[in-house]
Structure 1
Amino acid sequence: MKRIDVRAAVRSKYKGWVPECALRRLERLVHEDELNKMMELQEEVDGVSMGHRIMDYLGISCEIIGSERLPAPHERTLFVSNHPLGGVDGIIYCAMLGDIYEGRLKIPVNDVLMSVYQFGDIFLPVNKYGKQARSSIRQINEALASEDQVLTFASGMVSRTNNKGEVYDLDWQPSFIRMAKQSNRSVTPLFFEGENSPRFYKWARRRIKAGLKFPLELILLPDEMFRSKGKHFKIIVGEPMAPEELPLDHGAEYANKLRDSLYDFPERYR
């Protein structure tokens, strides 16, 4: 089984000297031992089963509100969701929607989640550069052309706090509109109710204030996953929209308007 090795990962990216205390701190921060133990839950399982095993391991539960609005398995849709947790939300979607659609689900995710090979039948890699970028685009287009359901986190990044202190997605990328229209899929909005610890958002604010572009706070995401132990989450389903209802122009404006509407779901669909 492929194991998570923080030291090897650091040395592959940085050839200079790294203090031993820093390496030990990083190992604790990313929960290297716990992550490897979790990945040993069962080596050869599919993504849906692995999602449930991680939820069980962490004592996480989730309910879907408005499941009657979910498209039937034969109705091809593109789910669009906010991304409040940056990892656990993807795992929960994998388990919950994977159950409903019998594993016929594809979710583009970042390299961190792709490192858990048991999710390989559901997760698709998102890479922005070089040959890997072309491969990612091809795999996503193949998924959209298939009979599988597809879910995308429309902001492409984990939520941060806005100037009101609210946990909120960054700007949504309007590319989901083009993807839905070209593949003749409906768009079904999903609101994932949850948030990370205050520490995560504090790191993000400090990093932005310091003028650093690299999102240092992402190093906290493994720790945030373990901080979610015992929590109960909710997924709220909105009304599906046919592809012909989606605009041809002003995509960015429409995307953020749809994003904003998600945060009314808890009140609208309670």
Structure 2
Amino acid sequence: MNSNQFEPSNISLHSLYPNLSKHFLYKYILSVGDKLMGLDKLQTIYDNSDFKGLPYKEFADTLISEFKTPVVGVDNLQANLPKIGPVIIVANHPFGCIEGIALASEVMKIRGDVKVLANKALAMFRELQSLFIFIDPLKPKEPTNMKALKDCRRHLNSDGVLILFPSGKVSEFESSKKRVCDGDWNRVAAHLARSCEAKVVPVFFEGTNSSQFLLLARIWSKLKLVMLFREMMNRRGSTINMKVGRVLTPEILSSLKDVGAMNDYLRAQVYALDPKYQYSWPADKTTKMLPLAESIGKSKISEELLQLPKEQKLASYKGFTVYYGYQHQISNIVLEIARERERVFRLHNEGSGNAMDTDSFDATYVHLFIIQDQTLDLIGAYRMGQTDILLKDGNLENLYLSKMFSFKANFINQQEPCLEMGRSFIVPEHQKSFYGLYLLWRGIGEFVVKHPQYRRLYGTVSISKLYSSNSVEYMNRILTEPSGEVEANYPFNVPNNPELEDFTSKHREHNGVLSALVCGTELDGKDIPVLMKQYQKLGARYYCIGIDRSFNDTPGMLLSVHLPSAPNKSLKQYLSNGLDGYLAYKKEH
């Protein structure tokens, strides 16, 4: 840049307070402030640098290069940052300055339409002034702040990228939280995301400023302003570790009806990226997959269906029929169920590795299954244990779930007849259909109509390890209500992220929060398991998560449903004409 066109930066308090510099006493105080804050040294570095006078993009790149503070995690930024359209990047603020310049430098390599909402103190760097939208966080009601917010909105409405540090100040020890983290986040990012329908990308920076900085900030908060630029220079030669999360779309954010909840959600999504609290699933025990068993053949299926008592044909719908039977009645169909279970479970990283998924409980449990009438294809099944029969001898080991959970004597399965539900599946070819899940539940409904002593269902929803551990922990924190009646033999234990704990304790009752957390975490955008949603509609109570050592160490969430208390709309759908009789049984017994 030509020196006739550019006035060098004056990295000094004098440039921020030019009117005060006209008075001798204030001029002296500002000069002392420059020395205390290290601005004089920063000015010397600037004067002797190669970035002096460069256009803002080159200035940011060269400053990061000369400070020898390379950014780690750029690949994820390149992969996750949308290439077009309005985007807000929200991040924590552990260092107070250098991470903002580093982030802007990397974002500008991907997109040219970048602005940073920044503290007006950074106006000292004249080369960066066109990159920044300045705000005064110390004076929230300052008129210039309103103009800054209008500029932010205008930039987003022009499909630009806006980088925000919603805390508005550097991280420090927060006495109320008893940890070093950002202070309360301003809701500006949430407001802008909603009003401009912008996508949001969460970014987390690892680390903190020095212990000396944190100590002085605890003594007097304003002392951190004195130390901030010294901390920036002390970071010379240090790597900046950046973690980038999944793009949070307006569709995901719209499930958070309240701006306050959205603001807290954005913060939680940023801090969820903290590697200190990441948990990796253990290596699969199943390393070798045997070929699937051969299908048993349609003639054997047809023969066994014809031999079933007619009352075991539960319901039909659009060319499909749901039946139930016991292994001694339908031994070949149970083999086909076991074969298809293994095929489906392998797709979710839950396969046994054997030719079929079977165990000793297949012989003692009821098998509810769906057959396509014309082709005789098996499209889905559910396994149900009748506790009044299985526990006649009082032996809890007759229950599959006793391997996962320790049931106390006052748990429902020992207080009344229950159905223990498990091993459900729909084959891939029909998983996107409505009728698959509908027929399973229609079958369950007709089964309890025929056996009205079963007022409660309990079982687990298996949570595939294709979910991140963060998503499983969200489900655990938001849905479960621990009980003294049951506990997991092998609990799901992950490092406790205090930011996640803060968020879930505050918002667990809000509709849409769990789906927003999971969809905003999973790279493929998947929501909570379909079966979990189904049980939620029925008013399920969730107890805890246990690890199923017999199911490739898959997490399973234990739940129960009191059917007579379920919403009448669902009961009518699944119990149909038998609903009144089923509910009347409750009154008579």
The alignment's TM-score, normalised by the length of structure 2, stands at: 0.41
Structure 2 partner of 1:199:
212
Residue 185 of structure 1: how far off its partner (Å)? 1.0
1:95-110 pair list within 5 angstroms: 95-101=105-111, 103-110=112-119
Contact 2:77 2:244 in 1 (8 A): yes
Q: Which of residues 260, 267, 270 in structure 1 aligns to 2:268?
A: 260
Matching residue's letter, 2:133: L
2:101 counterpart SS class: helix
Shift in alpha-carbon separation, 1:254–1:23, aligned structure 2, 3 A: closer
Equivalent residue, structure 1, for 2:345: none
Residue of structure 2 in register with 1:179 after alignment: 192
What's 1:211 paired with?
none
Structure 1, 3-12 or 36-45: larger mean CA deviation? 3-12
Structure with more contact order per residue of length (Cα contacts < 8 Å, sep ≥ 6): 1
1:250: which partner in 2? 258
* Closer/same/farther in 2, CA of residues 154 and 11 from structure 1, 3 Å limit: closer
Shift of 1:197: 0.8
Q: CA separation of 1:8/1:177 partners in 2, compared to 1, >3 Å: closer, same or farther?
A: closer
Secondary structure at 1:230 match in 2: coil
Paired position in structure 1 for 2:91: 81
Give the alignment's Cα RMSD to 1 decimal: 2.8
The answer for the alignment partner of 1:190 in structure 2 is: 203
Q: Which runs of 5+ in 2 are unaligned?
A: 1-7, 281-589
Task: Provide the residue aligned with 1:139 in structure 2.
Answer: 151
| Structure 2: distance between partners of 1:155 and 1:5 | 24
Task: Give the TM-score of the pair, scaled to structure 1.
Answer: 0.84
Query: Does 1:32 find its partner at 2:39?
Result: yes
In the aligned structure 1, how far is the partner of 2:163 from the partner of 2:15?
Answer: 32
Cα displacement string for residues 29-50 of structure 1 (whole angstroms, at most 9, x for unaligned residues): 3223332234343443222211
Larger radius of gyration between Structure 1 and Structure 2: 2
Quickly say closer, same or farther: Cα 1:34–1:116, change in 2 above 3 A: same
Q: For 1:82 and 1:162, locate their aligned partners in 2 and report how far apart those are by CA, in whole Å.
A: 14
Give the share of equivalent positions with the same residue, in percent.
Answer: 23
Give 1:173 shift: 2.0
In the TM superposition, what whole-angstrom CA distance separates every residue of 1:43-70 from its partner, at most 9, and x where no partner exists?
4322221112211222211112633642
Counterpart of 1:158, as a letter, is: V
Distance in 1 of aligned mates of 2:76 and 2:51: 32
Shift of 1:78: 0.9
Deviations 1:63-105 (A, max 9, x none): 126336423321431111111111111111121111122x321
2:53 is aligned to 44
3-state SS, counterpart of residue 220 of structure 2: helix
- Match for residue 126 of structure 1? 135
The match for 1:54 among 31, 47, 63 is 63
1:100 counterpart SS class: coil
Aligned mates of 1:96, 1:84 — CA distance in 2? 18
Asked if the contact 1:39/1:116 (under 8 Å) is kept, the reply is: no
Corresponding position of 2:579: none
The residue number in structure 1 matching 2:363 is: none
Residue 163 (structure 2) pairs with residue 151 (structure 1): yes
Match of 1:66, SS state, is helix
State whether residues 90 and 202 of structure 2, in contact with CA within 8 Å, keep that contact through their aligned partners in structure 1.
yes
SS in 2 for 1:161: strand
CA change 1:50–1:249 in 2 (3 A) is same
**2:224 aligned partner:** 217
Q: Deviations over 1:111-154 (max 9, x none)?
A: 12122111123211114444423432232122111222111111
Instruction: Report if aligned partners of 2:13, 2:31 keep a CA contact under 8 Å in 1.
Output: no
Q: Distance in 2 between matches of 1:249 and 1:105?
A: 28
For structure 1, the 5+ residue unaligned runs are: 209-214
